[in-house]
Amino acid sequence: MKEKVLKRLLLIFGICFFLLFFLTPFLWMVAVSFSSSPNLAVRGGFRFTMENYSNILGNKNLHFPDYLKNSLIVSSLSSIISAIIGGMCAYVISRFRFRGRTILILSVLALSMFPQICIVGYLFKIMSSASWINTYRALFFPYVAFSLPLALWILLGYFSQIPGEIDEAALVDGATRWQTFFKVIVPITLPGFLSAFLLLFMFAFNEFLFALMLTVDHRARTVPVGIALFQGLHGEIPWGNIMASSVLSCLPLVLIAVAAQRYVIRGLTGGALK
Amino acid sequence: MNKDHRNIALFTAPLLFFILLFVLLPVLGTLYTSFFRDVSFMEREFVGAGNYLRLLRDSRFLKSLLFTLVFALLSVGFEMILGMGAALVLNETFPGRGLIRGIALIPWAIPAVVGARIWQLIYRFDYGLANILAMRFFGEKVNWLGTPSGALFSLVAADVWRTTPFVAIILLAGLQAVPGETHEQGKIDGAGLFQRFLYITLPAVRPVLIVALLFRTIDALRVFDIVYIMTGGGPSGTTTPVSLYGYGYFLMGDFGYGSAVSISLFLIAFILSLVFLKTGRFREAAL
């Protein structure tokens, strides 16, 4: 009986502790974004205002809407393509035992372990000589490539749960492998593709180093780089604007995390455990 | 049979195209460049292992390497402990668990850059949250980002906040695989709450723990964004991780030395992963 009480107390303490720990910094950001001054320490420091938001959305020189647009375009395109390409490869890996199969899986995973800094220097040279610096292409191709191991890993877990008889049935009916994959397998593994897409989107939307090195201005610069390089006119950090843009850029991700946590968690753990 | 081979080639070709061209080629290019003196607007010159020998004598590089290792050790250590705590909480059944799981994902789901900006504001000397609390409890302010030890602590705390959710989710999956009967058996045998955690839960999640440890260590060693924003490597270079050190050389147009710095970071991450995998398997065999 004593143990039950102890366990309950520990649980309540744990919930409160982690809620405070995870949420306080986040709420601080939201509060400052709606305050006319970032100095919340003094009494009366918080005065509600929408000025920060109207500023970042309305002031043409800050380019925040451009950054947001660039981020959304590059992240959605690269994660859709990465999920499809990773899915195609995961499908044949789960269906055929061919020579070099294990080597393929292991080397793709090993490549994902390379620190980004080992890639970005030479990537900069490649992109410069192709005159791709400061274009969507400069980010799209590396993002797809860098997220493919994750896509492969997540979807491999899903395809290996689908029995091969389903493919056989479609093939006997005269479908090609191509048709079998896109018309039979993809529709039944749609939750897996959703998990993969959400995680890949988060990865691409949050990426910083490539975007910092391979973009120059608002024509291709993404939200993280924009927020990192926000400068005030006189060198003072414009906290209100930074926090308002942070809140707006967090919105899609927080929505994904809270509304689709089941898919995100399944994608993460399927990848880590299988 | 032939048709199968054609299909395998057709389905794997796009993945190989992207990975070979945009991961493997740049990696090999970086390795190749690291053997040259390759500075913008200067003639490229082969120097063999010259850049690597220079690394060994470069005290700023060695300092940044030491910082990277200390940072990784501290932040991964705290993340493992807190992540395990969070996973144990999230594994219990209570009303609103789904919502709390979603909330727990937030620090990890939002951009690292945003997290770093939030913590930078929290650590501000004059009106940051950290000093509001410090004033209330200790009566004096702390220079969080302005001293070497303060900056190290602040960076670790920010990183722990951001990545504990990731560790928690991975460990949660491990916890769910522990059969409930073993716990019941442990109860009957008179094992207390903490004993059951030590002797039943912990061994059962060990494989998952090692996976999380490996992922997080590799990731912590290549830390870049939060340092770039919160301290910029300062004060006086004491919090410069290897990634930022190498980036500095790329920025100056010194691709040869920057490449050698980057490759050395990969080698260290690679050796550490091998050690983890070896010790992990060794202990498994011993059990």
Residue B281 confidence (pLDDT): 62
DSSP string, A208-231: -HHHHHH--STTT--HHHHHHH--
Instruction: Tell me: pLDDT of B87 over 90.
Output: yes
What phi, psi does A21 have (nearest 5°)? Answer: -60, -45
Decide: B228 and A228 in contact? Cβ < 8 Å.
yes
What phi, psi does B128 have (nearest 5°)? Answer: -75, 155
Tokens 């601080």, located at residue: A28
Residue of B nearest to A201 (CA): B109
Give kind and range of the element (H or E) at residue A195: helix A190-206
Residue B283 confidence (pLDDT): 52
Q: Which domains does chain B have, with CATH numbers?
A: 58-286 (1.10.3720.10)
Tokens 């993969």, located at residue: A196
B147: number of Cβ within 10 Å: 14
Structure tokens at A15: 């919930």
What phi, psi does A35 have (nearest 5°)? Answer: -110, 145
Residues in chain B: 287
Q: Rounded mean pLDDT of B20-36?
A: 95
Q: Is A248 exposed, middle or buried (0-12, 13-18, 19+ CB in 10 A)?
A: middle
Residue of A nearest to B90 (CA): A15
Residue A53 confidence (pLDDT): 94
Q: Which candidate in A122, A199, A239, A264 is best for mutational testing of the B interface (most B CBs within 10 A)? A: A122
Q: pLDDT of B183-234, one tens digit each?
A: 777 777 877 888 888 888 888 888 888 888 988 999 999 999 999 999 999 8
What phi, psi does A52 have (nearest 5°)? Answer: -60, -40
Q: Which candidate in B2, B5, B8 is best for mutational testing of the A interface (most A CBs within 10 A)? A: B8
A·B CB contacts under 8 A = 286
Q: pLDDT of B209-219, one tens digit each?
A: 888 898 899 99
Question: Which residue stretches of chain A have pLDDT < 50?
Answer: 271-274
Structure tokens at A169: 């049935």
Residues in chain A: 274
3-state secondary structure (DSSP) of residue A197:
helix
Distance CA A263, CA A257 (A): 9
A89: number of Cβ within 10 Å: 25
Nearest by CB to B19, from A145, A242, A246: name it: A145
Decide: A206 and B111 in contact? Cβ < 8 Å.
yes
Q: pLDDT of B98-151, one tens digit each?
A: 888 889 999 999 999 999 999 999 999 888 899 888 888 988 888 999 999 999
Q: Rounded mean pLDDT of B49-59?
A: 95
Find chain A residues with C-beta within 8 A of B258's C-beta. 121
Distance CA A32, CA A40 (A): 8
Tell me how close the Cα of A95 comes to any Cα of chain B, in angstroms.
10
Task: State whether B111 and A205 contact (CB < 8 Å).
Answer: yes
Domain borders along chain A are 55-273
Q: Where are the beta strands (DSSP E) in chain A?
A: none
Distance CA A122, CA B38 (A): 11
User: A55-273 maps to which CATH number?
Assistant: 1.10.3720.10
Residue of A nearest to B170 (CA): A269
Residue B287 confidence (pLDDT): 37
Tell me how close the Cα of A158 comes to any Cα of chain B, in angstroms.
16
Tell me, letter by letter, the H, E, C secondary structure of chain B.
Answer: CHHHHHHHHHHHHHHHHHHHHHHHHHHHHHHHHCCEECECCCCCEECCCHHHHHHHHCHHHHHHHHHHHHHHHHHHHHHHHHHHHHHHHHHCCCCCHHHHHHHHHHHHHCCHHHHHHHHHHHCCCCCCHHHHHHHHHHCCCCCCCCCHHHHHHHHHHHHHHHHHHHHHHHHHHHHHCCCHHHHHHHHHCCCCHHHHHHHHHHHHHHHHHHHHHHHHHHHHHCCCHHHHHHCCCCCCCCCCCHHHHHHHHHHHCEHHHHHHHHHHHHHHHHHHHHHHHHHHHHHHHHC
Q: pLDDT of B109-124, one tens digit each?
A: 999 999 999 999 999 9
Helix-, strand-, coil-residue percentages of chain A, each rounded to 5: 75, 0, 25
Q: Is B208 on the interface with A (CB under 8 A)?
A: yes
Distance CA B204, CA A3 (A): 22
Instruction: Tell me: pLDDT of B38 over 80.
Output: yes
HSE-CB for B253 with a 13 A CA cutoff = 7
Instruction: Tell me: pLDDT of B282 over 80.
Output: no
Residue A1 confidence (pLDDT): 66
Distance CA B183, CA B192 (A): 10
pTM: 0.92
Q: Which of B220, B213, B239, B215 is nearest to B145 (CA)?
A: B239
Decide: A25 and B104 in contact? Cβ < 8 Å.
no
**Least trusted range by pLDDT, from A20-34, A166-180, B9-23, B258-272:** A166-180
Tell me how close the Cα of B121 comes to any Cα of chain A, in angstroms.
8
A108: number of Cβ within 10 Å: 21
Distance CA A72, CA A222 (A): 9
Q: Which of B264, B272, B266 is nearest to B52 (CA)?
A: B264
Residue A232 confidence (pLDDT): 64
